[in-house]
Structure 1
Amino acid sequence: MNRRILLLGAAIPALAATIIPAAHAAPDRRDGRRPAGPMSRRLQLRHAATGARFSGPYHDGRAADPVAMAELSIVLADTRTGAVRPFDPRAIDILWEVARQTRLGGDELVVLSGYRTPETNAAVHGAGDSQHLRAGALDVYVPTAQLAGFGDAALALRRGGVGVYGRHSFVHLDSGPVRRWGDVAPGPAGPAVAQQDDRIVLLRKAWAATRGR
């Protein structure tokens, strides 16, 4: 466990207590399918801005582990203030499933942005109703050669929002309403939602600026 988690370790029990109801909630069945049989779900994840890491199981196949989710919530904390909000297990499950389908599940996944406070979201020019504000979204770096496959797998799930940015090598995943946008051609989730590329440039510049704080 890295130093950031060790420093905040005392907060994990209290945070885990707030996560238990969400972690044991009924699985999302918007796709009409029954949940798969029990299978341990593991992730290796690093936040690009802070270097905080998580590695190990977070779900036993029946329910998310509240303690592991508390650790993930700390890793995915707001990068400008360090504020922590219990992360939505459904968003983590989407990331795990896409990584598994694209055979990236054994690799360390690099997250560019997780939870954001309203102030941080404004500083990075995020949307006013961004799913990052409720700790339900992740922006994940994906190498250019694997970007198309990763994006297609995420779109095919139809379990939330997907933004694919080929020019900047990252994919936005969230557990909100099903929708898609970005700078790629329309995929299985339907017509793209327009998104201006200059806003993404501003977003990346703002991320870089917050890393130095």
Structure 2
Amino acid sequence: MTQPTHPLASGRRRFLGTGGRWLVTGALLPLAQPALAGLPDARSLSLDHTHTSERLALVYALGEQFVPQALSSLNHFLRDHYSGEAGLMDPQLFNLLHQIRQELRAQQPFQVISGYRSAATNQTLRTTRGGGVAKRSLHMEGKAIDVRLPGVQLASLRDAALALGLGGVGFYPREQFVHVDTGPVRRW
């Protein structure tokens, strides 16, 4: 004999089925972010951009599913701050940042120094900064970000990224940032 279904339970299932699909496609994302953040499989990021003074806090994934509207927001936020050109950021980079923050048990937003970089900006930086900018920088592919984390020593941030073993890690103590990327595992 089957148990009768409680009316609220069926309404919740209907919301999670239909409404959940709308949320994931981004139709209700701005209104839904607080609700998404409370879900047990939600992955979120908080970022402050040091050059644009913009701030962003959002849920970018639920379980294994990335939230398309959140990825669009992150692509815009991490645009080349010199040219305004936005690129497509590698969603695995967001997972990497999320894991670093969990590893460090940090609550503060990451401070972003550089995300996406256009080829033209990369070339200009290579010729005007006296080195330190790679010719084939993963920033141009949306696979790299330069960050720091308030309240966390720069060396601890570097060590947490290295411990994950998920990509490249560059340590820039003079410039006060750590570079992380989703390329091959390496360090400098």
Residue 91 of structure 2 aligns with which residue?
89
Q: Deviations over 1:83-137 (max 9, x none)?
A: 1112100111111110111122x21211000000011112222211110000111
Corresponding letter in the other structure for 1:167: R
1:108 alignment counterpart: 109
- 2:77 equivalent in structure 1: 75
AA aligned opposite 1:152: D
Residue 171 (structure 2) pairs with residue 164 (structure 1): yes
What does 1:39-58 correspond to in 2, within 5 Å? Answer: 39-58=41-60
Residues 111 and 150 in structure 2, CA contact (< 8 A), matched pair in contact too: no
Alignment match, 1:130: 137
Select 2:161's aligned residue among 154, 162, 171. 154
Offset at residue 53 of structure 1 (A)? 2.2
SS of equivalent to 1:132: helix
CA distance in 1, matches of 2:152, 2:71: 30
SS of corresponding position for 1:152:
helix
TM-score, with normalisation over the residues of structure 1? 0.64
C-alpha displacement of 1:158 = 1.0
Distance 1:69 1:54 in 2: 12
Q: Aligned-residue CA RMSD in angstroms? A: 1.9
Q: Does the 8 Å contact 2:148/2:177 carry over to 1?
A: yes
Give every structure 1 segment of 4 or more consecutive aligned residues whose post-TM-superposition deviation is greater than 3 Å: 142-145
Pairs aligned (count): 145
From the CA coordinates, give the structure whose radius of gyration is larger.
2
The share of aligned pairs that are identical, in percent, is 40
Question: 1:145 offset after TM fit, Å?
Answer: 5.2
Q: 1:144 to 1:62 in 2, by over 3 A?
A: closer
Q: Which runs of 5+ in 1 are unaligned?
A: 1-15, 18-37, 182-213
